Chains A and B, each alone.
Chain A
Amino acid sequence: MVTMTNSESAIAGEILRIARDELGIVGEPPPPDAALASALDSLQLLSLIVAVEDRFRIVIEDDDAAETRSLADLARLVAARTDAALIPAAPEPVP
């Protein structure tokens, strides 16, 4: 079971939104700890990395990208690099 902070969860949700709305990647979102490479082909993965760089105003080096296996990894990387002001608000807890 993967654990993410509120910020990381919010970023993961935003990454899924980018994949769906901006890149048109359809299908069931992968679980946070699933390998992104099994859900996306190489062009889709590269497009997602570029879109994440644009959205969160960060540079993801190739070495970092190579170690980013899952959505949770990517969300953690973004959370560590991005300006806090660019992190979307955490979703309201479900009562």
Chain B
Amino acid sequence: MTSPHPAILSVGRALPPHFVDQETLITSLSAYWGARHFNVERLADLHRAARVGGRHLALPLVEYPALDSFAKTNDAFIRVGSELGAAAVSDALSRAGVSPGDVDHLYFVTVTGISTPSLDAKLVNRLGLSPAVKRTPIFGLGCMAGAAGLARASDVLRAFPGEIAVLVSIELCSLTLQRDDASVTNVIATGLFGDGAAAVVLGGGDRAAERAPRILATRSVFYPDTEWVMGWDVVDTGFKVVLSAKVPEVIQSNVGGDVDRFLAAHGLARADVRHWIAHTGGPKVLEAFRRALDLPQAAIARSWRSLAEVGNLSSASVLFVLGDLLDADEARPGDLGLLAAMGPGFSAELLLLRW
């Protein structure tokens, strides 16, 4: 017997209140890197090329200079991340009409800070979740973790169709700033990544609401021998970005075939997909994704808009785009959607949705 398909009941989002536009950030970061580079305008151009209008920062801009150690930035991650995660989960629960005590599973994904107990434990206390809630913190899947978390939660709900799972993604990328690293790679990363949290309430098949999209299937794709493409080097001052120019190439070379095989396994083709929910990796990643699938620009317009508004929020990004789609209330019963994110491994996670 086929398990009933789990459903996405709601998406909640939370952004820190400290919005800073891109030009102000460029001016601020130039103070660090201007002394290190002769042509500081080139670094500013790299930030402008990210096509990000600004970022919501975990802390007021003036507080960053005092964060001169991993201990301090990680303390800020725990403090602000707890608040932001609680806000995102509360928003999602409220939208779904689910009480905190009714949550059976809590999945927490991040790649921008660490703690033990993990932040999901703080959320249990802060939000009054059930003492019986099953917690699964996941670290290290990077930008892919929002999609991967949805997939793992839905896998479990197939076995427990009467239960509720919450996925929360908390990413405070600004707290990973390596201010002494004036490399081009770090400059690009600091121009792109922002802070935010997103939460998704998922219901098992027996708890699904009428208009909620169901997760029909999920697929993970691992690309062998590409560990060096993306990730962190852990250094004394925290997480130092590893970002290869090959990222768009790996995506463009693989995603088309991967998506086609995934869809074909369910008797579908690209033309059957009405809603594309793509991780907002950055201009080159989005363009590689679009080209790989031969999509019109309009198909990923929400991802471009999210990138412009808040930057790349790592694992939270694809959930923000999903939330925007649900808010727009455009999807009609029977519509199919494909949610996709890529991240360190290098890997991709694909989810097939049906409204």
Contacts and interface: CB of A to CB of B under 8 A. Distances in A.
Interface of A: 41-44, 46-47, 49-50, 53-54, 57-60
Contact of A50 (B37, B243, B245, B246): B37
A58 B38 contact: yes
B244 interface: yes
A54 to B, nearest CB: 5
Given A47-B183, A58-B38, 4 more contacts: A43-B243, A43-B245, A54-B38, A59-B42
A57 B184 contact: no
Contacts, number: 36
Nearest to B184: A47
Given A43-B185, A46-B184, A47-B184, A54 B244 contact: no
Contacts of B244: 41, 43
Contact of A59 (B36, B39, B183, B188): B39
A7 to B, nearest CB: 20
Interface of B: 36-39, 41-43, 183-185, 188, 243-246
B185 A50 contact: no
B245 A53 contact: no
A24 to B, nearest CB: 10
A42 B37 CA distance: 19
A53 B42 CA distance: 10
B184 A59 contact: no
Contacts of B185: 43, 47
Contacts of A47: 183-185
A46 B43 CA distance: 11
A43 B42 CA distance: 13
In the A-B complex, the 3 residue pairs with the smallest Cβ-Cβ separation, listed nearest first, are A43-B245, A41-B245, A47-B184
A50 B37 CA distance: 8
A54 B37 contact: yes
Contacts of A59: 38-39, 41-42
